[in-house]
Structure 1
């Protein structure tokens, strides 16, 4: 239909910049733009080079630590038979799947490697009556404890520390690049203020 008003169009967005615009030769490129670009490339290369090294060092250190810990635990802990001195609480839903995975703290009696009788607390199945026995891990003093670290747990913790080390290098590089970018932007603003201070009188002084 002649004379029909076209529908309103959304305002244009900011112009797209090429990925490598800081390296392209153009009259508006500042030295700080080029510096920031090369710095970013340097940080990226450094992160790619240092992250695997940091992960390897962290993995070797963590593995040695946890292997020593496991050896110490095997020497100072042992599994023994404990006798309940009181009935364990009963689960509110007997026979349910939840009951099969629930454990309650109960007082038990154990004998240490030195032949001493000790009382401690252990996690036992619901409804277990006094006099029943359970197998638990205890320390040399007769206190309930966890089993020594397994090879699988050592591998898992080692991989975790290696991943954290690599992420730490990456985050440090990103923070350094961001901080440098902020400093560059402040430098650009100072330069613009200086340039405008020289140019403003030419625009505002009457001829």
Structure 2
């Protein structure tokens, strides 16, 4: 009957998605994918796998080398440095927060008079606790020449420095991989731009029309 409104129809179901097989997305045919795109993807994947493998190895190797270096340094320091009694020749400044945890760890440079391991009297500048007055007795580490020195490295210091070297090696490996990827992407981009310019130089004349 003319002019009648047809009854409402149910909405159409979803369109069937054509099957693309079981191949992964990066292997499906794509007419827009260029050989340079595939090359860039493979380089990126290869660098990622290389970093995941090399970074832990570099960290372990760096840790072992650094541990050996610092352990040898600690042994040398233990043989060439000695802890002796010394006398302050000047007052040491007080810490702004006396009695605090920071004050207990703080050390100020001050001049001290000491006797070297070979029996000579010498003066040196050493790191001493704050708030001491001239004439106070302190214990300082010195070399055989009577120069003030740091105490020999402890096991904890050796371990922390070795772990720091391991971390730097691992981070350096990651940064190297990222830099290599950035350089590769830039080179591929320049090649693509050059290819586009050549293709446009060949296509543009065919698009021009004479008046």
Match of 1:27 among 27, 31, 46: 31
The question of 1:119 aligning with 2:129 is answered no
CA distance in 2, matches of 1:197, 1:78: 80
Runs (5+) with no aligned partner, structure 1 = 1-19
**RMSD of Structure 2 on Structure 1 (CA):** 2.2
Q: Closer, same or farther in 2 for the Cα pair 1:95/1:177, shift >3 Å?
A: closer
1:107 deviates by: 1.8
Runs (5+) with no aligned partner, structure 2 = 1-23
Partner residue in 1 for 2:11:
none
Three-state SS of the structure 2 residue aligned to 1:122 is: strand
Give yes or no for contact 2:82–2:142 (8 Å, CA) kept in 1: yes
The question of 1:91 aligning with 2:99 is answered no
Partner residue in 2 for 1:107:
111
Aligned residue-pair number: 187
TM-score by length of 2: 0.80
1:104 deviates by: 3.4
1:23 deviates by: 4.5
CA distance in 1, matches of 2:105, 2:160: 24
Query: Which moved further from structure 2: 91-100 or 149-158?
Result: 91-100
CA distance in 2, matches of 1:92, 1:59: 37
Q: Closer, same or farther in 2 for the Cα pair 1:182/1:95, shift >3 Å?
A: closer
The question of 1:76 aligning with 2:111 is answered no
Superposed CA deviations along residues 89-147 of structure 1, whole A, max 9, x for unmatched, are 44386856375555433221111111111111223344423322001111111111111
TM-score by length of 1: 0.82
Partner residue in 1 for 2:156:
152
